[in-house]
């Protein structure tokens, strides 16, 4: 089958973030996590969250971090990177005055030392905050870092030891989608000591800490795990591990959170199974050693037995165990959209009209203008190319409801009306395909029905209750949905997309249908965090992972918690977002699978909405509210996106005739909309107001009117 009409419904929500993980070695067959795995993962995640809560409490009034209430740029940069690793947005760490760590770091930029280590830390901090490292605080930190490299390949610094500087520079380049210069790799390889380890400089004695950093950096730079320099480093750590299975800054020496975390990341990058011998024994592992170093407050202790930011940030990264290229979901989406520029044809389109519609949609959702000069070729913009393609795209002898739905989503996302776009009333086209007997817009393919529904939702038009009910009735006993109505086998793509569609039309998060669907996804997920298309596949793919992620988020299920945060073969804790980001190339493109990279454009079309869904802005943006009948109740459905920190408020009140406004009605929040149940069977005016301390994007108030319909009483005469 080739159901390539997928796009996400344009009202995208919150939840941010996070880091990219290389695909785990030895991907396990899809199966739900065991109770033992979930307990292990949850214990570590609880410790990570306690550590981050301690870190958040250390933020100073100027929004920075540093010891004794005095902020400094390095402590602040280190702190925000720890939040990114967990999937928490550090830009939402705001002082009572509304300042964020980004504000503090931007203010310090002018006085930053002219030093490669400082440039690298600013790259990593800006990425963690969702800022472009090529334009943060008015500076291109990537250009500064690359120009600072010596001809020898070394990144010089007076702020940190040489090997640590080289490590930080390499990680920063990879976070900015830059390949690592061969000379930089060669310098680090040349710094290895005769015993296979690395010291703080090429001439200093080996240390577990610097060896872990070097292994991690070399693997991120593309060194194969089988190379002699990697194997020598692994062997060094094997013979310099403490009895508690932790690692010290020097050997012999007490286990230290920074050294243990560095060793974990280096070994995990090299594919070492850290819960297996020789790294673990008798119930002890490098992770249990780290847990033992955490204070009750949540902080990790430095060598002086005092809690501090560097030790705590290291403890967070070590407990997560991800040898990650740290990347922010929003920046990854922007990079993918940049890659689309290379795919735009001379006529302004992207090949087939279906691809052009998808491209216009995600360009607009990423905050760019598909009708602007940046997306214009030979005088024709991407949006205009879609308009020109509409006659053959949405008209024809066969059912074109999916095409009309996708075009409607693209038009609305680009700020146009779906009722008058390119000379077509797309809403009218969609409505004309509805079969009230079956409740379907397309009688066989589920994806086409879903796109029709989402086209109406994006246009602000009511969706018949039967269109939702037919989806609920077609759910398999496993909890999933198949590619066609009545199909025998469910698949991940159809399940994730249908979950998304159901929430868009008012299915409450936590409903039985959505809970069963989430369970189906749980049971089919791989241990590397990815999802396959169907249960018999032996590896995950980008498209299925993206659609599963959207479905989970729409249903109000956190993919950053168990059971969807999984334990990889190395012992790393991997989320579905980590897995999705692992499919992205340096160019910004996503591949279906590393072994099948040719379907990049389609992978980008599915990945970008999922990334934006996982990392929208902090400000609240309301869509057009609608009144809908559902399960005998009258509902006010208020779609929204943004509100990354969940601190907005929506108030719904009603009044009858010239009477006064009611008290605020109860409002529930899903991942894509606010929902209030209204009194049924009465004519009323509905007032909707919103407030967000972080600001509002769009109008703060809407008023709707409900006119009760009185059906005539018909008496049958005998």
C-alpha–C-alpha distance, residues 546 and 86, integer Å: 19
693 or 116, which is more confident?
A: 116
Contact (CB, 8 A) for 371 and 414: yes
C-alpha–C-alpha distance, residues 336 and 331, integer Å: 9
User: How much is the average pLDDT of 22-49?
Assistant: 78
User: How much is the average pLDDT of 99-128?
Assistant: 97
Q: How many CB atoms lie within 10 A of CB 352?
A: 12
Q: Which CATH number characterizes residue 655's domain? A: 2.60.40.10
Q: Is 49 within the bounds of a domain? A: yes
Q: Are residues 289 and 355 in the same domain?
A: no
Q: Are residues 276 and 373 in the same domain?
A: no
Q: Which long-range contacts (CB under 8 A, 24 or more apart) does 109-112 make?
A: 109/136, 109/137, 109/138, 109/139, 112/73
461 or 293, which is more confident?
A: 293
- Segment 144-189, tens digit of pLDDT: 999 999 999 999 999 999 999 999 999 999 999 999 999 999 999 9
Q: Which CATH number characterizes residue 397's domain? A: 1.50.10.20
- Gyration radius of the chain over CA positions: 27
C-alpha–C-alpha distance, residues 479 and 141, integer Å: 48
How much is the pLDDT for 78? 98
> Last residue of some domain: 614, 635, 666?
614
What are the CA-CA distances from residue 398 to residues 6, 392, 393, 442, 507 (Å)? 19, 11, 11, 11, 30
User: How much is the average pLDDT of 501-508?
Assistant: 90
What are the CA-CA distances from residue 188 to residues 192, 208, 240, 377, 585 (Å)? 7, 16, 21, 45, 24
Under the banding of pLDDT at 50, 70 and 90, the label for residue 303 is: confident
> Last residue of some domain: 320, 346, 364?
320
The tally of CA atoms less than 13 A away on the side-chain side of residue 535 is 15
How much is the pLDDT for 3? 34
Q: Are residues 498 and 527 in the same domain?
A: yes
Contact (CB, 8 A) for 514 and 499: yes
Tell me the H-state helices in 221-297.
Answer: 228-238, 257-269, 286-292
> Last residue of some domain: 551, 582, 614?
614
Q: Are residues 652 and 701 in the same domain?
A: yes
- Segment 251-272, tens digit of pLDDT: 999 999 999 999 999 999 999 9
- Segment 603-618, tens digit of pLDDT: 999 999 999 988 766 7
Phi/psi of residue 166, nearest 5 degrees: -60, -45
Q: Is 12 within the bounds of a domain? A: no
Q: How far is CA 226 from the centre of its chain?
A: 31
Average pLDDT, whole number, for the chain? 91
The tally of CA atoms less than 13 A away on the side-chain side of residue 658 is 0
Q: Is 528 within the bounds of a domain? A: yes
Going 130 to 134 to 139 to 140, the CA torsion angle's sign is positive
pTM, two decimals, is: 0.89
How much is the pLDDT for 686? 93
How much is the pLDDT for 20? 33
- Segment 178-189, tens digit of pLDDT: 999 999 999 999
Q: Is 661 within the bounds of a domain? A: yes
Q: Is 20 within the bounds of a domain? A: no
Q: Which two tokens stand for residue 318?
A: 């070590």
Q: Which residues pair with 566 in a beta bridge?
A: 574
How much is the pLDDT for 617? 67
- Segment 8-22, tens digit of pLDDT: 322 222 223 333 333
Q: Are residues 273 and 364 in the same domain?
A: no
Tell me the percentage of the chain whose pLDDT exceeds 90. Answer: 78
Phi/psi of residue 620, nearest 5 degrees: -85, 135
C-alpha–C-alpha distance, residues 655 and 467, integer Å: 30
Q: How many domains does the chain have?
A: 3
Q: Are residues 646 and 505 in the same domain?
A: no
Q: Are residues 338 and 210 in the same domain?
A: no
Q: Are residues 625 and 502 in the same domain?
A: no
How much is the pLDDT for 665? 94
**Pick from 432, 461, 502, 420: which is nearest to 670 by CA?**
502
Phi/psi of residue 176, nearest 5 degrees: -95, 15
How much is the pLDDT for 129? 95
**Pairing relation of β-strands 620-622 and 649-655?**
unpaired
Q: Are residues 585 and 627 in the same domain?
A: no
The tally of CA atoms less than 13 A away on the side-chain side of residue 151 is 0
Under the banding of pLDDT at 50, 70 and 90, the label for residue 693 is: confident
| Whether the predicted pLDDT of 426 surpasses 50 | yes
| Whether the predicted pLDDT of 216 surpasses 70 | yes
Q: Are residues 108 and 221 in the same domain?
A: yes
Q: Is 10 within the bounds of a domain? A: no
Q: Are residues 273 and 369 in the same domain?
A: no
**Pick from 565, 525, 559: which is nearest to 671 by CA?**
559
Q: Is 33 within the bounds of a domain? A: no
User: How much is the average pLDDT of 646-651?
Assistant: 88
Q: Which residues pair with 650 in a beta bridge?
A: 690
Q: Are residues 258 and 354 in the same domain?
A: no
Burial (CB < 10 A; 0-12, 13-18, 19+), residue 392, is exposed
Q: How many CB atoms lie within 10 A of CB 692?
A: 22
Q: Which residue has the tokens 């969706």?
A: 463
- Segment 453-479, tens digit of pLDDT: 999 999 888 899 999 999 999 999 999
Under the banding of pLDDT at 50, 70 and 90, the label for residue 640 is: confident
Q: Is 3 within the bounds of a domain? A: no
C-alpha–C-alpha distance, residues 373 and 27, integer Å: 44
The tally of CA atoms less than 13 A away on the side-chain side of residue 135 is 4
How much is the pLDDT for 28? 44
How much is the pLDDT for 581? 97
**Pick from 305, 217, 203: which is nearest to 269 by CA?**
217
User: How much is the average pLDDT of 38-43?
Assistant: 96
Task: State the residue range of the domain holding 571.
Answer: 329-614
How much is the pLDDT for 630? 66
């Amino acid at each position: 089958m080739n159901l390539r009409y997928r796009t996400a419904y344009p009202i995208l929500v919150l939840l941010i973030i996070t880091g990219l993980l290389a695909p785990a070695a030895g991907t396990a067959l899809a199966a739900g996590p065991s109770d033992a795995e979930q307990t292990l993962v949850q214990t570590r995640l609880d410790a990570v969250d306690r550590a981050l809560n301690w870190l958040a409490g250390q933020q100073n009034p100027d929004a920075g971090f540093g010891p004794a209430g005095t902020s400094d740029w390095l402590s602040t940069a280190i702190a925000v990177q720890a939040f990114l690793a967990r999937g928490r947005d550090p830009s939402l760490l705001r002082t009572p005055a509304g300042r964020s760590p980004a504000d503090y770091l931007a203010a310090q930029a002018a006085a930053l030392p002219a030093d490669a280590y400082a440039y690298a830390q600013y790259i990593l901090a800006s990425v963690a905050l969702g800022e472009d490292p090529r334009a943060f605080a008015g500076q291109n930190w990537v250009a500064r870092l690359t120009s600072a490299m010596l001809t020898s390949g070394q990144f010089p610094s007076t702020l940190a030891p040489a090997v640590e500087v080289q490590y930080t520079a390499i990680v920063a380049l990879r976070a900015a989608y830059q390949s690592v210069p061969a000379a930089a790799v060669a310098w680090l390889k040349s710094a290895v000591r005769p015993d296979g380890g690395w010291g703080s400089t090429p001439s200093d004695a080996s240390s577990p800490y610097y060896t872990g950093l070097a292994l991690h950096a070399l693997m991120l730079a593309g060194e194969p795990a089988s190379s002699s320099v990697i194997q020598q480093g692994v062997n060094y750590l094997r013979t310099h591990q403490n009895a508690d299975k932790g690692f010290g800054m020097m050997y012999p020496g007490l286990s230290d959170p920074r050294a243990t975390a560095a060793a974990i990341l280096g070994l995990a990058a090299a594919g070492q199974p850290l819960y297996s011998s020789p790294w673990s024994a008798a119930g002890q592992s490098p992770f249990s050693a780290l847990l033992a170093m955490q204070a009750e407050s949540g902080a990790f202790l430095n060598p002086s037995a005092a809690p501090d930011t560097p030790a705590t940030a290291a403890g967070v990264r070590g407990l997560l165990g991800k040898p990650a290229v740290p990347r922010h979901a929003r920046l990854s989406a922007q990079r993918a959209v940049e890659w689309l520029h290379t795919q735009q044809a001379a006529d302004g389109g992207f090949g087939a009209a279906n691809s052009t519609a998808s491209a216009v949609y995600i360009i607009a959702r990423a905050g760019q203008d598909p009708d602007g000069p940046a997306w214009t070729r030979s005088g024709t913009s991407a949006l205009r190319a879609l308009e020109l393609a509409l006659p053959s795209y949405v008209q024809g002898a066969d059912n074109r409801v999916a095409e009309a739905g996708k075009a409607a989503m693209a038009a609305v996302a680009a700020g146009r009306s779906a009722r008058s776009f390119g000379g077509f009333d797309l809403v009218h086209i969609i409505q004309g395909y509805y079969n009230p007997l079956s409740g379907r817009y397309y009688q066989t393919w589920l994806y086409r029905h879903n796109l029709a529904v989402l086209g109406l939702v994006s246009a602000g038009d009511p969706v018949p209750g039967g269109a939702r009910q037919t989806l609920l009735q077609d759910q398999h006993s496993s909890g999933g949905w198949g590619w066609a109505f009545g199909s025998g086998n469910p698949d991940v793509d159809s399940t994730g997309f249908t979950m998304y569609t159901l929430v868009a039309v008012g299915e409450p998060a936590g409903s039985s249908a959505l809970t069963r669907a989430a369970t189906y996804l749980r049971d089919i997920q791989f241990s590397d965090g990815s999802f396959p298309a169907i249960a018999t596949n032996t590896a995950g793919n980008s498209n299925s992972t993206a659609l599963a992620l959207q479905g989970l988020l729409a249903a109000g299920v956190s993919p950053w918690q168990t059971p969807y945060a999984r334990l990889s073969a190395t012992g790393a804790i991997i989320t579905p977002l980590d897995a999705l980001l692992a499919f992205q190339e340096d160019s910004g493109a996503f591949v279906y699978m590393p072994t099948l990279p040719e379907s990049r454009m389609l992978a980008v079309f599915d990945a970008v909405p999922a990334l934006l869904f996982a990392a929208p802005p902090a400000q609240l943006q309301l869509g057009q509210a609608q009144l809908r009948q559902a399960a005998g109740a009258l509902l006010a459905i208020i779609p929204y996106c943004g509100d990354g920190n969940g601190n907005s408020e929506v108030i719904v009140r009603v009044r009858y005739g010239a009477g006064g406004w009611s008290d605020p009605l109860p409002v529930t929040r899903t991942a894509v909309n606010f929902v209030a149940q209204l009194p049924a069977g009465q004519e009323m005016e509905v007032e909707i107001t919103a407030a967000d301390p972080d600001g509002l994007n769009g109008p703060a108030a809407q008023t709707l009117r409900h006119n009760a319909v009185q059906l005539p009483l018909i008496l049958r005469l005998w």
